Structure 1
Amino acid sequence: MFLYMLVFLAYHSSRWMPRNQRLKFQILNTLVITLVLVPQIYVMGRPKSSRYCKQPLLNNLSASVASSFIAAGFSVTFTLIEPIPQGLWASYHAFGLLSCGQGLCTAILTLTAGDCVKTTPELYHLSLILTVASALSTGFFMVRGGLWLTNPNPGTDLSRHSERPAVPR
């Protein structure tokens, strides 16, 4: 869910800016994408990462790198296009389900790979970081979903709930 949340944050953050001033945000978006991708690619290329580990952490990391490239594509597309077509929204939410599954697999593999901290320390620690990020983002979406379910006005945004206009008498 971590990558799904990054795209979510990029989309909603870009909407705070006027359309003609989003170039600075695109530069920031590129920087965030780089900060997510570079450590993963670096660890995947390390010779220690190819050592034997009981769990397939390296395979999971390569799937995470592929998902990161997909998330980067969604992030750039969502910040450039307005309005977003429904088909693109649907594919983004399908990516969210895949991202949730990826986070769950990462958590299970990392929690059962205690021996790998000795043989492949960088790979294990990166998997641990991705597990924590996935758990935190899953918690974020659970809280957000709970707030959405308890919203008395389902047609309004939660942030605008307190700014209802007065009803004339």
Structure 2
Amino acid sequence: MFLYLLVYVAYHSSRWLPRTQRFKFQIVNAVFILVVLIPQIYIMARPKSSRYCSQPLLVNLSASVVLSFIASGFSLLFTLIDPLPQSLWASFHVFGLLSCGHGLCTSVLTLTAAECVKSTPELYYMSVALTVASAVSAGFLLLRGGLWLSNMRPVAQTG
């Protein structure tokens, strides 16, 4: 859910700016994408990360990198296109489901990989960081969704 939340925040933050000033936001967006991607790629490329671990944390991290690239594409599109086509919104929400599933998998793998802290510490701590980020993001999005549902007005019944 962490990557879904990042795109969501990028979209809503860019809408506060006039269209003519969104280029500056694109630069900030690119820097933020690099801040998210570089540590993941660095840890994935380290020789220590390929050591034996009972859980497939390296495979999970590579899935996270792929999802991070997809999220960067969404954040770029969402800040450039105005108005957004319905099909792009739909694909973004499918990405959100994938991101949620990845967050759940990361959480389960991290909770069951306590012995990996000795063999692959950087990989394990990156997995812990992704788990915490995913849990915080899920909590925020659940709170946001609950507030959205509470503000919906009931449909008037005719009869």
TM value normalised by structure 2:
0.95
Q: Which amino acid aligns with 1:15?
A: R
**Alignment match, 2:2:** 2
Question: 2:37 aligned with 1:40, yes or no?
Answer: no
Distance 2:8 2:153 in 1: 22
Cα distance between partner residues in 1 of 2:5 and 2:150: 21
The RMSD of aligned alpha carbons is: 0.8
CA distance in 2, matches of 1:148, 1:26: 28
Task: Please name the residue that 1:11 is paired with.
Answer: 11
Distance in 2, Cα, partners of 1:90 & 1:152: 21
- The 2-side partners of 1:123 and 1:153 are apart by 47
Per the TM alignment, residue 153 of structure 1 is displaced from its structure 2 partner at its CA by 4.0
Segments of 5+ residues of structure 1 without an aligned counterpart are 155-169
C-alpha distance in structure 2 between counterparts of 1:47 and 1:145, whole Å: 42
State the AA in 2 paired with 1:33.
I
Is 1:107 the counterpart of 2:107? The answer is yes
- For residues 12 and 104 of structure 2, what CA distance do their matches in structure 1 show? 25
Q: CA deviation at 1:149?
A: 1.0
Counting matched residue pairs gives 154
Provide the residue aligned with 2:157 in structure 1. none
Name the structure 1 match of 2:83.
83
Residue in 1 that maps onto 2:137: 137
Say whether residues 1:73 and 2:49 are aligned partners.
no
Instruction: Point out where structure 2 has 5 or more consecutive residues left out of the alignment.
Output: 155-159
- Alignment correspondent of 2:24: 24
Instruction: Determine the C-alpha separation between the residues in 2 that align with 1:19 and 1:153.
Output: 32
Describe the SS at the equivalent of 1:141. helix
Give 4+ residue runs of structure 1 displaced > 4 Å after superposition. none
In 1, Cα distance between equivalents of 2:46 and 2:153: 52
Question: What letter is aligned with 1:65?
Answer: V
Q: Alpha-carbon deviation of 1:152?
A: 4.6
Match of 1:158 in 2: none
Matched, 1:93 2:90: no
Secondary structure of the corresponding residue to residue 22 of structure 1: helix
Residue identity (%): 71
SS of 1:101's partner is: helix
